[in-house]
Amino acid sequence: MEKKPHFVRREFLPREVPSISLALLLAAVLLLNALLYLYLNKFYNSLGRVETDPGYCPFGHFKFGAVKNCSPWLSCEAINREVRKLKCVGEGAVKKVFLSEWKEKKVVLSQLTNSELKEDFLHGLKMLKALQSKYVVRLLGYCEQQFTILTEYHPLGSLRGLNETLHIPKYKGMNTWHRRLMLAIDYVSIIRYLHSSPLGTLVMCDSNDLDKVLSQYLLTSDFHVLVNDLDALPLVNRSAGRLVKCGHRELQGEFVAPEQRWPYGEDVPFEDDLMPPYDEKTDIWKIPDVSNFFLGHVKGSDVVRLHLFDIHAACKKKDPAERPSAQEVLDTYRKVLTLLIREAAMPGTREML
């Protein structure tokens, strides 16, 4: 009787090993996907947590730091008695800003400097009170009679200093495409919040150039973005035919949206009464320029820009009606983050399969 050749059995093993390897690879991919899902779910939940109450306090109250109990906003009397100015840290057209101290905690005291702009100051206070959320700097107290506002202190300051901050040895680990894209997502989240705020559709008017935009936002110690200055935040109400104009002077330059520029040419002198109003899509036009600043020039930032190319091109449509909403931009940013994190977690997986 003829014996079976020995190579038959040996031939079977090489087929079995790849199938086991493939099963292990698929299991690893599924595990990585599960971990990625949990991470992104946690991240998106943090983006979508209660918008109207950052400290889980009722309206008119606050808490911050390690304090567990809510305190009512400080009154004129409490501010005068308990808050001590340390030094002036900034001054704009509307107010002067002082680093101050309250109960051994650093806080920020803002005071009106130009009585002609008191309406702007009071409008900013009104917005600050009404829009308290995880997107807005925390209000600690105010005194309308003395035109004073007390807010939480953030030592990293405004976004104008972002690149300098990221070069400090303590924060160099944050200087990655991933962290920078998350800051851009924070920024777009704020624009989306303002466009669908409890008060209606609000336009961020104090944004005529990049430096001015960056000065309106703060960088927190845990690397998130907060809007800080709400003095110029007019309301769009389409159903009532109400649009806005950002100030009464002529706006120029490529940073502002086309509809914000004088439409009648150089031969016709600018007149505010003849300037057509516009809507919140001016904020959308500016998103690519602000995001480009956020992304910087770190390794991987060009790949992020490539993935955002189409949505940014849509933001720059000349016709405001053709631009996406802030929600659509935010959705795209989140999808790009998910995609790039997945690719970074599983490089070459597609080729291996």
- Helix (H) or strand (E) holding 17, with range, is helix 7-47
CB 94 within 8 A of CB 127: no
Secondary structure of residue 249 in the 3-state scheme: coil
pLDDT at position 51 is 53
Per-residue confidence (pLDDT) for residue 146, from 0 to 100 = 96
In this predicted structure, what is the pLDDT of residue 33?
60
pTM for this one?
A: 0.84
- Predicted confidence (pLDDT) per residue in 234-247, tens digit: 999 988 889 999 99
What pLDDT is attached to residue 352?
45
**Contacts with 264 (C-beta within 8 Å, 6 or more apart), sequence order:** 274
Predicted pLDDT at 344: 82
Confirm whether 71-153 and 154-346 share one CATH topology: no
DSSP string, 115-176: GGGHHHHHHHHHHHHHT-STTBPPEEEEETTTTEEEEE--TT-BGGGHHHHHTSGGGGGG-S
CATH code of the region 71-153 = 3.30.200.20
What would the pLDDT profile of 29-73 be if each residue is shown by its tens digit? 566 665 655 555 555 554 444 454 445 689 999 987 777 889 999
Distance between CA atoms of 127 and 108, rounded to whole angstroms?
17
Q: Which residues of the chain have pLDDT under 50?
A: 7-13, 46-50, 52-54, 349-353
The per-residue pLDDT for 217 is 98
Contact 141, 78 (CB under 8 A): yes
Residue spans of the domains in the chain: they are: 71-153, 154-346
As assigned by CATH, the class of the 154-346 domain is: mainly alpha
Say what the pLDDT of residue 27 is.
Answer: 64
Q: Which residues contact 180 (CB under 8 A, 6 or more apart)?
A: 294, 295, 296, 298, 301, 304
